[in-house]
Structure 1
Amino acid sequence: MSHQLRNKDQQPTSLRPSFGEEVDEVNAMARNLGGREVFDVNKALENLRADPWSMLSEISDIILVVDKHGMVTRSMCHQDLAFADVVAQWHGHCLAEILTPESRVKFDAKIAKIPHVAKQNDAATGMSSTFGNIELNHLSPSNSQEYPVQYSLHFLKHDHGFALFGRDLSIVSSIQKQLVDAHLSLEQEREQQEQFLAKQHLIMESLLEPAFFVDASNGQLLEYNQKAAKLFNIPSTLSALDINTFLGGIGSKHALAQLLEASSGKGTGQTELAVKTKHQMMPAEVNIFRTAGKRTLFVKLLSNIPEPGQESKNAQLRSFVDKLPDGVAFFNREGMVTSCNDAFLDLTGIGHDIAKANFSVANILSRGQVELNILLDQAAKSGAVSSYATNIRTVYGAQRDVLISMVPLGSGKNRLMGLVLRTNDPTAKTTWPNVPPQQDVSEDEMQTMIGLVGNMALKDIVAKSADVIEKVCIEAALKMTNNNRMAASELLGLSRQSLYVKLRKFGLLNREV
């Protein structure tokens, strides 16, 4: 005899048992559930209107009676059940229709495990058998909601059906869902906190100055970057450090009192602190903020302290540049001078703050922007320009012969160019940067000119050799400018039209130099 769930169109054929038999089964199931008999049999028989199933529904949230064909012949519930109106609609439906697909499979598997012999023995002894608990999910009429119920499964002897005594798990399910949501929320908050701490650590370490956070209530050092750890000589194993151990205030004040006083006005301010590990005073910028009712100080020390008794390398280099007799200037990718020494101002005749005047290096070069582009191109290719001989114009129009050396500094958007101007010795040889020495006259051309001796007058021979020299100069100019005809004409002091005439004359018009 199969108890697998079936469709609604299979109608039950069992006969209804007598009232006395139902009473016996109900009392037996009540004892199996751990309770006492629901009511006295004699009293129940006196009142035929009394329904033992309704009385059992007072100790169970839901009671379903299912016949051997899987049809729900009774559906009762506690009057306080939240979905009591839904349970009332289950009567007369096939159990499979009111369960989710997963629960149907689970119920069929449970029924299949019930031994057939146990059913026969219970039928012979007149007792109902209990076959453990099972959790099933019911569907709402609109299939938009599920109702979880834990059932105790009992076999009925009179029609070989089942009685399911259920406990509503909606509250438990709701609590479980809240716990899962809370866990997911905590995980999300933990990930956000980890991201925040990672960003904070990255920002702290990217600062050029020593920086740290201090608890405003007790002066405890909360967090610090590596520059602060190096300045204070803090071992990585120490924790819960007092800021007054490393810093002191002005006079006899403690560092914490000094910081609180500096930030008491607008929440931010500047002060001076004594760095005990270096025995020196240094300026500090302090900000105070409040989170979760707790005040915290953020302190940033504004300058680096050199080693005791030694001048910093930056100061030495700055002093060297300032005292150098050669002009030194720094300019950006657009050619605008950002800083220079006094010697550069003397050579160019500038009498104002050059960094604030948007002054371009092209303004002092005799060939202007064209020559500056050549210098920048050569510096980019070879990494430096050394002793480039040219002349510059002062702001008053005077001409000066100089040697230029230039080197790129840094990279990217912050890239600068370092420029050195040195007065040119008239006896110094003029050289072009990174241009291989030209062979003045080829062997064939030299032999040709020697062969002219005796056949031509000297002035004619000189005129002939002038063409050779002119060709060599044009080739050198084209090499310097990477075959840029316009720039080459500027270097040679020719118009573009004159240069093209000479290129055609010497067969260089379509030639890659």
Structure 2
Amino acid sequence: MDARTATHRHRTTETLTGGLAALPADVATQALAAACDIALVIDGNGIIRDVSIGGDDLSGQGFDDWVDRPWADTVAPENRIKIDEMLSGGGVPGRWRQVNHETPSGDLPVRYLAMPSGKDGSIVAIGRDVRATAAMQQRLLRAQQAMERDSLRLRQLEARYRLLFDSAPEAIIVIDATSRRLLEANPAARRIAGLGTGPLDTTPFTAIIHPDDREAAIALVGAAAAAEQRHPGRLRLADGQPARVSATLFRQDRGNALLVRLAPLLTPGIAGSERPLDEVLERMPDAFVLTDGALAVLAANGAFLDLVQQPRPDDIRGRPLTQFLGRPGIDVALLESQLRDHGSVRGFATVVHGAVGAETDVEVSAVTTDDAGAIRHGFSLRVVGRTPVAVTDDRQVPRSVEQLTELVGRVSLKEIVRESTDLIERLCIEAALTYTSDNRASAAEILGLSRQSLYSKLHRHGLGNLSDND
């Protein structure tokens, strides 16, 4: 038996004789035509009776040990169900099935086609080595994973770009260098240029420029598109607001695009005069803040930042003035009404709210300007202290009626009523003590109070020269 087995091991396709030659001619022809890498003759019990190898690539993989072994024992455990399906095919040629053989050098992937070879139930299994295909699949999988990692990095970069673009306080617009149409605009640019929140792909760049300055705008972006050195231009936006405009050429999606920056100017004065004015406002000891027509903060000096306890101008730019000035819905609304009716306000008493809860009494002077339909409000805030009340003796009242009425608009009605109640209570206690010649028991009786309650109120108001034992 050993001699017979040796004659069947490691045969090439050209020497397929013996066991395979004993098969019917049509089956042997199909096996040879398949140009197989390996051919197995398996009996009706699923035992391998012959192994033929079609090339040297599979030598040394332990095929010598397969003869007289169950075919299912030569594959990985998870592939045995495929072997059972091919063995139970009922004598009808099935489809190609891939299994992994466990060999000394590792898993060997082979695709098999099982064909009946006789009436005794034996079959011929033709196998093709698919290691090259498996290696290609692994390379494809690694390439796909690399593409997914690159895609993830691109998405992260895009998210960071979008965050920086949208949160930048500077107004930035991206336009197509050829069509001059808007591609993107950050929120600051949309607010300044009045673009709203809709799509921009059909909006020309000149639509956000004043009609009288559109030729200059076209010349500016044209020079930037030609990669010429060009200083920032001074243009008016569609609402007449003057702005400093600059453009920079860059590549995007295999085309050219322009990054346009818009910097609104505080005043429409002579070119170059904005910097000295900014320095003067910054060094003012009084706080100054500039808002648009909707009372959104555009600029402020350092004194105003100190009042509202904010470290940087960007922390307040774009925020409503009502967050910092006056009581909600009262003072700023009254200021706005007076500015609308008279154009200016002087000596308006209110309070400024700091970021950490501090409140400062201020007097506000304000003015409104209208430059080609662009409404601007300027507010100057001077810190003032509460008017002290000089107390000369115990019988002088803490506040006069005039002083109490002056509190209207500066403190709440509840606080005014509480202070008025304290004033009346002190006056009544003093009158009772005078009437009873400082007899506290009698004073408590005519006031309708217990002696303990009267002593508590005397302590609170500092009346009656009480000792610590009283």
TM value normalised by structure 1: 0.50
Residue 429 of structure 1 corresponds to 403
How far the C-alpha of 1:107 sits from its partner, in A, is: 1.2
Pair 1:301-2:262 in alignment: yes
Residues 210-237 of structure 1, C-alpha deviations (whole Å, 9 max, x = no match): 3212344664533223554562658946
Query: Share of identical aligned residues, percent?
Result: 16
Q: Name the Cα RMSD after superposition.
A: 5.5
Structure-to-structure mapping, 1:455-470, within 5 angstroms? none
Distance verdict in 2 for CA 1:304–1:66, change over 3 Å: farther
Residue 28 of structure 1 corresponds to 26
Pair 1:419-2:382 in alignment: no
2:24·2:117 contact (CA, 8 Å) conserved in 1? no
Q: Distance in 2 between matches of 1:154 and 1:335?
A: 85
Q: Helix, strand or coil for the counterpart of 2:264? A: coil
Q: Distance in 1 between matches of 2:167 and 2:114?
A: 68
| 1:66 alignment partner AA | I
Q: Distance in 1 between matches of 2:183 and 2:305?
A: 42
Residue 76 of structure 1 corresponds to 52
Residue 239 of structure 1 corresponds to 201
How far the C-alpha of 1:473 sits from its partner, in A, is: 4.1
TM value normalised by structure 2: 0.54
Q: Distance in 2 between matches of 1:331 and 1:282?
A: 28
Q: Distance in 1 between matches of 2:468 and 2:307?
A: 41
Residue 82 of structure 2 corresponds to 106
Larger Rg: 1
Q: Distance in 1 between matches of 2:466 and 2:167?
A: 57
2:244·2:265 contact (CA, 8 Å) conserved in 1? no
How far the C-alpha of 1:264 sits from its partner, in A, is: 5.5
User: Any unmatched runs of 5+ in structure 1?
Assistant: 1-13, 36-55, 119-128, 307-311, 323-327, 339-378, 387-402, 456-466, 476-501, 508-513
Distance verdict in 2 for CA 1:146–1:157, change over 3 Å: same
Residue 306 of structure 2 corresponds to 331
Structure 2 counterpart of 1:472, from 460, 465, 468: 460
Residues 400-444 of structure 1, C-alpha deviations (whole Å, 9 max, x = no match): xxx9853315x479x985634458498853799647221544867
1:210·1:301 contact (CA, 8 Å) conserved in 2? yes
| 1:407 alignment partner AA | V
How far the C-alpha of 1:503 sits from its partner, in A, is: 9.3
Residues 71-90 of structure 1, C-alpha deviations (whole Å, 9 max, x = no match): 43433333253x44325455
Q: Distance in 2 between matches of 1:157 and 1:190?
A: 56
| 2:468 alignment partner AA | K
How far the C-alpha of 1:104 sits from its partner, in A, is: 0.6
Structure 2 counterpart of 1:91, from 60, 66, 91: 66
Distance verdict in 2 for CA 1:34–1:254, change over 3 Å: farther
How far the C-alpha of 1:271 sits from its partner, in A, is: 0.5
1:285·1:300 contact (CA, 8 Å) conserved in 2? yes
How far the C-alpha of 1:177 sits from its partner, in A, is: 3.8
Pair 1:452-2:440 in alignment: no
| 1:255 alignment partner AA | L
| 2:110 alignment partner AA | V
Residue 136 of structure 1 corresponds to 99
Q: Helix, strand or coil for the counterpart of 2:115? A: strand
Structure-to-structure mapping, 1:266-415, within 5 angstroms? 271-275=232-236, 277-278=238-239, 281-290=242-251, 295-303=256-264, 313-314=291-292, 331-332=306-307, 406-408=351-353, 411=355
1:60·1:166 contact (CA, 8 Å) conserved in 2? yes
Residues 123-169 of structure 1, C-alpha deviations (whole Å, 9 max, x = no match): xxxxxx63443222222326xx4332221112343864432101222
| 1:133 alignment partner AA | W
How far the C-alpha of 1:188 sits from its partner, in A, is: 4.6
How far the C-alpha of 1:448 sits from its partner, in A, is: 4.9
Q: Helix, strand or coil for the counterpart of 1:173? A: helix
Residue 186 of structure 2 corresponds to 225
Residue 108 of structure 2 corresponds to 147
2:20·2:28 contact (CA, 8 Å) conserved in 1? no
Distance verdict in 2 for CA 1:503–1:69, change over 3 Å: farther
How far the C-alpha of 1:256 sits from its partner, in A, is: 1.6
2:39·2:124 contact (CA, 8 Å) conserved in 1? yes
Distance verdict in 2 for CA 1:286–1:24, change over 3 Å: same
How far the C-alpha of 1:505 sits from its partner, in A, is: 1.4
Tell me how many residue pairs correspond in the alignment. Answer: 342
